[in-house]
Amino acid sequence: MWPITMAASSPLLLLRSFTPTKPFSKTILSLRKPLKFYSNSIRMEISEIEAEKKKIFVSGATGKTGKRIVEQLLAKGFAVKAGVRDAEKAKSMFPNPNEDLQIIKSDVTEGSEKLANAIGDDSDAVICATGFQYSWDLLAPWKVDYYGTVNLVDACRKVGVKRFILVSSILVNGAAMGQLLNPAYVFLNAFGLVLVAKLQAEQYIRKSGINYTIIRPGGLKNDPPSGNIVMEPEDTLSEGSISRDQVAEVAVESLLHPQASFKVVEIVARTEAPSKSFVELFGSIKERSRLTHVLNSLKLIALVLVFSIALMALQQLKILKVLIGMTRRLNEDVGL
Ligand SMILES: NC(=O)c1ccc[n+]([C@@H]2O[C@H](COP(=O)([O-])OP(=O)(O)OC[C@H]3O[C@@H](n4cnc5c(N)ncnc54)[C@H](OP(=O)(O)O)[C@@H]3O)[C@@H](O)[C@H]2O)c1
């Protein structure tokens, strides 16, 4: 029950106690319609008060992580708009009728206008757990993991959503971390440079001005958690894995802790790691300065340059070898 007392001394006091101080405090109820008061009697029409739950739009809600995010949001008392490509699939995944769960058809590749309609003006935040599905289309990562995320951010701007949580991946900035030859970096990028696409999407979010939390998990596991969450700053972790349950938990907790705002966090689970609260985990991550971003971009450019020069040198060597071979053969032919 809401803590409403009809004998409240001041309507303003009521208003203050009901209006969340921050977009995402622990209070999940928010006031959408103004209270109506009648003169003298300080009578309040309860029917006019619409205290609604915070509503979160989850993109990729039928995914293995997305599903868990939806379930955990509902369990924590949020209302959810599940953005899905296939409504029938979603209905079979969430079979129990729940008035707090709304299933909305949306494809992130279809542009920000359609997404804005799906998110609507009643969503308080967006969580993006989409990921391209393996296919012969090498551009799929760019369509889904880059443009899809860009479309979602643009849609948020259109409808005034100010909070965005992205499930990204460790090693997205592997090149700048000196992990160019890390097998995971090489293998994942073999599928249409998905890590590069994700990194570009992250950069778009960071420049957009939206209040973001970018979660970069290690390898995802369907098993229940088997260790404690280890949270590190961006470009730190290059190996490790984590249960999708814990990734979903971090996504949901990001909404509840102001310490998660404007941060990129890398997460894995380790059995030997100490158990920490989310205040401690998010609080331990510092926001990176713009200078660090510039330096990282320069590092990436330098690496690409070195790589290209090395490739060109190799090519030249090959050409040189062919030329030497040809000269030798010519010399042999003319009997020199
Ligand atoms: N697998 C790993 O080890 C790993 C590691 C680190 C990070 N990640 C990242 O973590 C995220 C979640 O991973 P996951 O394995 O849980 O994902 P998943 O099960 O593959 O789910 C991906 C979701 O994205 C949806 N989707 C794909 N294309 C879409 C589009 N055009 N429009 C709207 N939705 C679309 C899918 O919809 P349908 O259900 O309709 O197909 C699905 O619901 C992904 O971004 C992934 O890259 C994965």
Note the pLDDT of residue 285: 97
How far apart are the CA of 335 and the centre of ligand 1, in A? 66
Q: What whole-number distance in Å separates Cα of residue 51 and Cα of residue 44?
A: 14
How far apart are the CA of 59 and the centre of ligand 1, in A? 9
Q: How far is CA 100 from CA 73, 81, 96, 97, 251, in A?
A: 10, 8, 11, 9, 19
Check pLDDT > 70 for residue 51: no
Check pLDDT > 60 for residue 34: no
How far apart are the CA of 282 and the centre of ligand 1, in A? 24
CA-angle at 240, arms to 147 and 204, nearest 5°: 20
Check pLDDT > 80 for residue 165: yes
Contact 62 CB / ligand 1 (< 6 Å): yes
Residue with the smallest CA separation from ligand 1 atom 44 is 131
Inter-residue contact 220 to 245 (CB < 8 Å): no
- Kindly provide the residue ranges of all beta strands, DSSP E only, lying in 55-135, ordered along the sequence: 55-59, 79-84, 101-105, 125-128
Check pLDDT > 90 for residue 40: no
Lookup: tokens for 188: 């994942």
Residue with the smallest CA separation from ligand 1 atom 43 is 63
Residue with the smallest CA separation from ligand 1 atom 5 is 219
Describe the crossing of helices 149-159 and 194-208 by its angle, rounded to 10 degrees.
20
More confident residue, 335 or 147: 147
Contact 243 CB / ligand 1 (< 6 Å): no
Query: Of 283, 245, 249, 59, which Cα lies nearest the Cα of 154?
Result: 59
Please identify, by atom number, the ligand 1 atom nearest to the C-alpha of residue 62.
Answer: 43
Average pLDDT over residues 197-223: 97
The predicted model scores a pTM of 0.79
How far apart are the CA of 214 and the centre of ligand 1, in A? 15
Check pLDDT > 60 for residue 19: no
In total, the chain counts a number of residues equal to: 336
For residue 248, which amino acid is it? A
Q: How far is CA 108 from CA 10, 111, 144, 166, 287, in A?
A: 46, 7, 7, 14, 28
Q: What is the pLDDT of residues 302-320, one digit of tens each?
A: 766 876 787 788 778 888 8
Note the pLDDT of residue 306: 77
Average pLDDT over residues 32-57: 57
Query: Of 192, 119, 184, 105, which Cα lies nearest the Cα of 151?
Result: 119
Describe the crossing of helices 244-256 and 64-75 by its angle, rounded to 10 degrees.
50
Q: How far is CA 12 from CA 16, 24, 76, in A?
A: 6, 21, 29
Note the pLDDT of residue 14: 29
Contact 85 CB / ligand 1 (< 6 Å): yes
Query: Of 33, 36, 34, 46, which Cα lies nearest the Cα of 6?
Result: 46
- Categorize the per-residue pLDDT at 220 as very low, low, confident or very high, splitting at 50, 70 and 90: very high
Note the pLDDT of residue 309: 84
How far apart are the CA of 197 and the centre of ligand 1, in A? 14
More confident residue, 266 or 286: 266
Please identify, by atom number, the ligand 1 atom nearest to the C-alpha of residue 219.
Answer: 3
Check pLDDT > 50 for residue 35: no
